[in-house]
Protein backbone atom coordinates (compact mmCIF):
# COMPACT_ATOMS: atom_id res chain seq x y z
CA UNK A 1 0.00 0.00 0.00
CA UNK A 2 2.87 2.38 0.79
CA UNK A 3 4.43 1.73 -2.61
CA UNK A 4 1.15 2.53 -4.39
CA UNK A 5 0.81 5.77 -2.38
CA UNK A 6 4.39 6.79 -3.20
CA UNK A 7 3.96 6.00 -6.91
CA UNK A 8 0.66 7.89 -7.03
CA UNK A 9 2.29 10.90 -5.33
CA UNK A 10 5.19 10.85 -7.78
CA UNK A 11 2.76 10.62 -10.70
CA UNK A 12 0.81 13.64 -9.41
CA UNK A 13 4.00 15.63 -8.93
CA UNK A 14 5.09 14.77 -12.47
CA UNK A 15 1.75 15.89 -13.92
CA UNK A 16 1.87 19.14 -11.94
CA UNK A 17 5.42 19.87 -13.12
CA UNK A 18 4.36 19.69 -16.77
CA UNK A 19 0.98 21.35 -16.24
CA UNK A 20 2.21 24.87 -16.87
CA UNK A 21 3.38 25.60 -20.41
CA UNK A 22 6.95 26.76 -20.68
CA UNK A 23 8.14 28.95 -23.51
CA UNK A 24 11.61 29.61 -24.79
CA UNK A 25 13.04 32.99 -23.86
CA UNK A 26 12.50 35.95 -26.19
CA UNK A 27 15.63 36.22 -28.35
CA UNK A 28 15.00 39.31 -30.49
CA UNK A 29 16.06 41.92 -27.93
CA UNK A 30 18.27 43.89 -30.32
CA UNK A 31 15.60 44.03 -33.04
CA UNK A 32 12.96 45.09 -30.53
CA UNK A 33 15.21 47.81 -29.13
CA UNK A 34 15.89 49.16 -32.64
CA UNK A 35 12.14 49.17 -33.34
CA UNK A 36 11.56 51.02 -30.08
CA UNK A 37 14.16 53.67 -30.96
CA UNK A 38 12.59 54.23 -34.40
CA UNK A 39 8.94 53.85 -33.23
CA UNK A 40 8.59 51.32 -36.07
CA UNK A 41 7.29 47.88 -35.08
CA UNK A 42 6.40 46.51 -38.54
CA UNK A 43 8.46 43.36 -38.05
CA UNK A 44 6.68 42.63 -34.75
CA UNK A 45 3.10 43.26 -35.92
CA UNK A 46 0.86 41.12 -38.09
CA UNK A 47 -2.46 41.96 -36.39
CA UNK A 48 -3.73 45.19 -34.80
CA UNK A 49 -2.04 46.00 -31.50
CA UNK A 50 -3.78 47.29 -28.39
CA UNK A 51 -2.38 50.75 -27.59
CA UNK A 52 -3.04 52.08 -24.09
CA UNK A 53 -2.20 55.48 -22.64
CA UNK A 54 -3.70 57.76 -20.00
CA UNK A 55 -6.37 59.03 -22.38
CA UNK A 56 -6.87 56.35 -25.04
CA UNK A 57 -7.20 52.63 -25.61
CA UNK A 58 -7.36 51.52 -29.26
CA UNK A 59 -6.43 48.69 -31.60
CA UNK A 60 -3.93 50.06 -34.12
CA UNK A 61 -2.14 48.89 -37.24
CA UNK A 62 1.61 49.33 -37.61
CA UNK A 63 1.40 52.74 -39.32
CA UNK A 64 -1.20 54.01 -36.86
CA UNK A 65 0.95 52.83 -33.96
CA UNK A 66 3.91 54.84 -35.25
CA UNK A 67 1.73 57.96 -35.47
CA UNK A 68 0.34 57.44 -31.98
CA UNK A 69 3.81 56.90 -30.51
CA UNK A 70 5.02 60.13 -32.08
CA UNK A 71 2.06 61.94 -30.50
CA UNK A 72 1.91 60.26 -27.06
CA UNK A 73 5.65 59.71 -26.66
CA UNK A 74 7.29 62.93 -27.82
CA UNK A 75 10.96 63.04 -28.70
CA UNK A 76 12.58 65.13 -25.99
CA UNK A 77 15.89 66.88 -26.64
CA UNK A 78 18.63 65.29 -24.57
CA UNK A 79 16.50 62.26 -23.65
CA UNK A 80 17.22 58.62 -24.44
CA UNK A 81 15.25 55.39 -24.51
CA UNK A 82 16.68 52.56 -22.40
CA UNK A 83 15.43 49.16 -21.30
CA UNK A 84 14.13 49.35 -17.74
CA UNK A 85 13.12 45.72 -17.14
CA UNK A 86 11.83 42.48 -18.60
CA UNK A 87 9.67 39.70 -17.22
CA UNK A 88 7.98 36.51 -18.41
CA UNK A 89 11.13 35.22 -20.19
CA UNK A 90 11.44 38.56 -22.00
CA UNK A 91 7.91 38.60 -23.43
CA UNK A 92 6.98 41.63 -21.32
CA UNK A 93 9.55 44.37 -21.67
CA UNK A 94 9.59 47.84 -20.19
CA UNK A 95 11.53 50.72 -21.69
CA UNK A 96 11.90 54.18 -20.28
CA UNK A 97 12.33 57.58 -21.88
CA UNK A 98 14.99 59.11 -19.64
CA UNK A 99 16.35 62.60 -19.41
CA UNK A 100 19.53 62.33 -17.37
CA UNK A 101 18.47 59.88 -14.63
CA UNK A 102 14.80 60.83 -14.52
CA UNK A 103 12.22 58.69 -16.30
CA UNK A 104 9.74 60.84 -18.19
CA UNK A 105 7.71 57.95 -19.70
CA UNK A 106 7.55 54.20 -19.40
CA UNK A 107 6.68 52.02 -22.38
CA UNK A 108 5.52 48.46 -21.71
CA UNK A 109 5.62 46.00 -24.63
CA UNK A 110 3.68 42.75 -24.23
CA UNK A 111 4.65 40.10 -26.78
CA UNK A 112 2.93 36.82 -27.59
CA UNK A 113 5.12 33.92 -26.33
CA UNK A 114 4.09 31.66 -29.22
CA UNK A 115 4.61 34.06 -32.12
CA UNK A 116 6.93 36.73 -30.62
CA UNK A 117 4.59 39.35 -32.08
CA UNK A 118 3.55 42.52 -30.29
CA UNK A 119 0.09 42.30 -28.71
CA UNK A 120 -0.09 45.36 -26.47
CA UNK A 121 1.84 48.59 -26.00
CA UNK A 122 1.29 50.80 -22.95
CA UNK A 123 2.64 54.35 -22.65
CA UNK A 124 2.61 55.68 -19.10
CA UNK A 125 3.77 59.16 -18.15
CA UNK A 126 5.88 59.18 -15.01
CA UNK A 127 4.49 61.82 -12.69
Q: Please enumerate in sequence order all residues whose Cβ is within 8 A of that of 56, keeping only pairs 6 or more positions apart, or say none.
A: 68, 72
What length does the chain have?
127
* Long-range contacts (CB closer than 8 Å, 24 or more residues apart) made by 19-24: 23/89, 23/91, 23/113, 23/114, 24/89
pLDDT tens readout for residues 16-71: 665 555 667 788 989 999 999 999 999 999 999 999 999 999 999 999 999 999 99
**Domain residue ranges in the chain:** 25-125
What architecture is the 25-125 domain classified under in CATH? Roll (3.10)
Contact 10, 3 (CB under 8 A): no
Amino acid sequence: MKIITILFTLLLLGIMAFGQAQHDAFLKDKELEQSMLKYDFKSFIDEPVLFISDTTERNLTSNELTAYLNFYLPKVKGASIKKASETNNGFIQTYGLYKQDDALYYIVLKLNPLSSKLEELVVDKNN
